[in-house]
């Protein structure tokens, strides 16, 4: 059986993938992701997930490589990782009291036999109306600069999130149900 590689350094993806019980190793892809604010979010996350998986797969052709990319989308604008705390504040203000969509693209690649599997998942998150004091408290508790949309639902989400629809693991960064289906189809899970 082919070994599994996660093409991501994300601690959230590492923790989530570990829940599936399939042994894997981590090889972060050294690629430049497409992150234009006016991009179609579905295409952008699919492109970035494939880019990561294909970069690692080219260097480990016998392995099965999982790439993933997640973004937040509201007002026809993609909210990627904030550049600084001012950008994170602006994102939280924009999301305050509203519903946005979290998109994740998944790509599974195995160069040895040409395996190419892709999936896309969307979930909706509704934020509470956030006052400036809540935004500052949240930013003091959570390191938001490595998170799309400037927040993490799993870290003090009770401060900012009113509710969500769809996959919780998608919102965190790796939709487990769809990931399990891809790995099963690729022969890595029973």
Q: pLDDT digit string (tens) for 118-175? A: 999 999 999 999 999 999 999 999 999 999 999 999 999 999 999 999 999 999 999 9
pLDDT at 1 over 90: no
pLDDT tens column, 32-80: 999 888 999 999 999 999 999 999 999 999 999 999 999 999 999 999 9
pLDDT at res. 190? 78
Phi (first) and psi of residue 130, to 5 degrees: -105, 125
Instruction: Please name which of 104, 81, 102, 106 lies closest in space to residue 6, comparing C-alpha atoms.
Output: 106
Task: Work out the pLDDT band at 95, boundaries 50, 70, 90.
Answer: very high
pLDDT tens column, 73-94: 999 999 999 999 999 999 999 9
Domain boundary assignment for the chain: 4-185
Choice among 38, 40, 69, 76 that is catalytic: 69
pLDDT at res. 43? 97
pLDDT at res. 67? 98
CB-CB neighbours of 155 under 10 Å: 17
Is 62 one of the catalytic residues? Answer: no
CB 95 within 8 A of CB 138: no
The architecture (CATH level 2) of 4-185 comes to Alpha-Beta Complex (3.90)
pTM for this predicted structure: 0.95
pLDDT at res. 37? 87
d(CA 146, CA 134): 20
CB 121 within 8 A of CB 164: no
CB 112 within 8 A of CB 175: no
């Amino acid at each position: 059986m082919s070994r599994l590689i996660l093409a991501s350094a994300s601690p959230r993806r590492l923790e989530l993938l570990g829940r599936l019980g399939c042994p894997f190793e981590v090889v972060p892809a050294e690629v430049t992701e497409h992150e234009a604010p006016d991009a179609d979010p579905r295409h952008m996350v699919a492109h970035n997930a494939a880019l990561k998986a294909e970069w690692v797969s080219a260097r480990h052709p016998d392995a099965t490589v999982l790439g993933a990319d997640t973004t937040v989308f509201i007002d026809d604008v993609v909210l990627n990782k904030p550049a600084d705390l001012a950008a994170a504040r602006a994102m939280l203000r924009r999301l305050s009291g509203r519903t946005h969509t979290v998109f994740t693209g998944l790509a599974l690649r195995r160069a040895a036999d040409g395996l190419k599997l892709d999936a896309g998942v969307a979930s909706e998150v509704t934020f509470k109306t956030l006052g400036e004091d809540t935004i500052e408290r949240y930013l003091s508790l959570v390191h938001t600069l490595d998170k799309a949309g400037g927040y993490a639902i799993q870290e003090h989400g009770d401060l900012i999130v009113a509710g969500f629809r769809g996959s919780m693991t998608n919102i965190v960064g790796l939709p487990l149900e769809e990931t399990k289906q891809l790995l099963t189809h690729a022969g890595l899970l029973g």
